[in-house]
Amino acid sequence: MALFRRTSDAPLKREQAEIDIPVRNKYSLDPDRAVQSLSAVFRCVQVISHSTANLEIERLTAGNTVGEFSGFAYNMTDREFISRTATSLATYGNAYWRKPVLKLKSWKYIDVIHPSWVTYRPDGLYQVTYPSNYIGGAGMEILDKDQITHIRFLATAGAIYGSSPLSSLRSTLSFARDLNDYAASIYTDGQYPSGYLSTDQQLPPTVAEGVKKSWREKFAKAERDIAVLTGGLKYEALSINPTDAAFVEAFNLSVQDIGRAFGVPASFMGVGSGDSLNYTTSESETARFIQTTLINYTNPIEDAFTADRGAAADTIEFNFDSLLRADTASRYDAYSKAIASGWMSVDEVRSKEGMSPMRGGASNGTQSAAQ
């Protein structure tokens, strides 16, 4: 049986891939372009993708952890597989996993397919149209539900495709893009002078124009020369004060709006939220980020893994301990109290820290101290 089934069917029209942005100069901004051209979008996707990819994944049987779930991706690391999946969900609202036709023991996923290449057909099959720059070359294949796993980020009842945070950011993305373009054009398009010549003397218009022309001819060149000014003339370099121009405030507002849609805290994006964060509030913010944002990505991935790779009584879940991990001093203090109170052993603490058991099998603080 062939791994790929190619066909020459005409590609179906894809209506979900692009987001129309109403701007001064009308253009369509697809999710990939938004990530590449808007730093706030890039940062949000990066935070979500990297946070998800760095979590451990465990296999549980009847609610008890029986081991690590790993080695599930073909020709890429597990971390890269999860990162691509989370990025697809954050930008397109959909992620697609390519599965082999023959699923032997310990089979692996073949690839994470770019969401814009996939179209759901009326007959219940998935059509994948590969572009010319794909590593395997241009082509098309039809996959059934046993060969592809479709994960949706946010889908209404009866919807075929999921929705991403970008779909709620049309006006914000328009504003952010226009703001970036305007800020860049201020200097390049000559909308703002680079400086001015001043004097306390009253100059006739013809003299002032002649001075300006002379200055340009001598000093407005690629190579820098030494300026010699006479007649009381003084040169002042002119630069925009971002605060006075309201650029900082405007940029921060758009960044906060983008972060709000993605569910990424302002502090994660380097933008002040007006709150004074200390260790306790930062820890609470991380916990809130997990509870309100990250689980929206990890839960559907867990469900897909469990459906594809889990046994009858198995579930596959992400472990958030690495994100909720306290600082060293706080952990050691908590461990000390747990051992002293008798509800944790030294070896249990060592296991949580990724260390091997104590020699001799010490199980509590008193035995460890005796050794």
- Summarised one tens digit per residue, pLDDT across range 291-350 is 999 999 999 999 999 999 988 888 999 999 878 776 666 777 788 888 999 888 988 888
**Is residue 111 domain-shared with residue 246, that is, in the same domain?**
yes
**Is residue 124 domain-shared with residue 232, that is, in the same domain?**
no
Q: Which helix (H) or strand (E) holds 309?
A: helix 295-309
**Is residue 277 domain-shared with residue 210, that is, in the same domain?**
no
**Is residue 65 domain-shared with residue 99, that is, in the same domain?**
yes
**Is residue 268 domain-shared with residue 123, that is, in the same domain?**
yes
163, 155 contact by CB (below 8 A)? yes
Per the prediction, the chain carries an average pLDDT of: 76
Taking 90 as the threshold, does the pLDDT of residue 351 lie above it?
Answer: no
Structural domain of 332: 328-371
Higher model confidence: residue 178 or residue 361? 178
Span 177-193, mean pLDDT? 57
List, for residues 6-17, the tens digit of each pLDDT value. Answer: 444 444 544 444
Higher model confidence: residue 86 or residue 63? 86
Total structural domains within the chain: 3
Distance CA 146, CA 308 (A): 9
* Alpha-carbon distance values, 55 to 30, 64, 86, 233, 291 (Å): 29, 18, 12, 64, 14
Taking 80 as the threshold, does the pLDDT of residue 154 lie above it?
Answer: yes
Q: Which amino acid is at 80?
A: E
150, 96 contact by CB (below 8 A)? yes
**Is residue 59 domain-shared with residue 45, that is, in the same domain?**
yes
Per-residue b/e over 60-96, b at no fewer than 16 CB within 10 Å? beeeeeeeebeebbeeeebeebbbbbbbbbbbbbbbb
**Is residue 163 domain-shared with residue 93, that is, in the same domain?**
yes
**Is residue 132 domain-shared with residue 276, that is, in the same domain?**
yes
Distance CA 29, CA 22 (A): 10
Give the pLDDT of residue 328: 67
**Is residue 220 domain-shared with residue 312, that is, in the same domain?**
no
**Is residue 129 domain-shared with residue 62, that is, in the same domain?**
yes
Distance CA 366, CA 55 (A): 34
Phi-psi sector, 138: left (phi>0), alpha (psi -120 to 50), beta = beta
Which residues lie across from 142 on neighbouring strands? 127
**Is residue 268 domain-shared with residue 341, that is, in the same domain?**
no
What the block records as the tokens of 230 is 């006479």
What the block records as the tokens of 238 is 């002119």
**Is residue 177 domain-shared with residue 226, that is, in the same domain?**
no
What the block records as the tokens of 249 is 């405030």
Give phi and psi for 28, each to the nearest 5: -105, 135
Percent of residues, the chain, with pLDDT higher than 70 = 65
Q: What is the DSSP string of 71-86?
A: --BSSS-HHHHHHHHH
Distance CA 120, CA 96 (A): 11
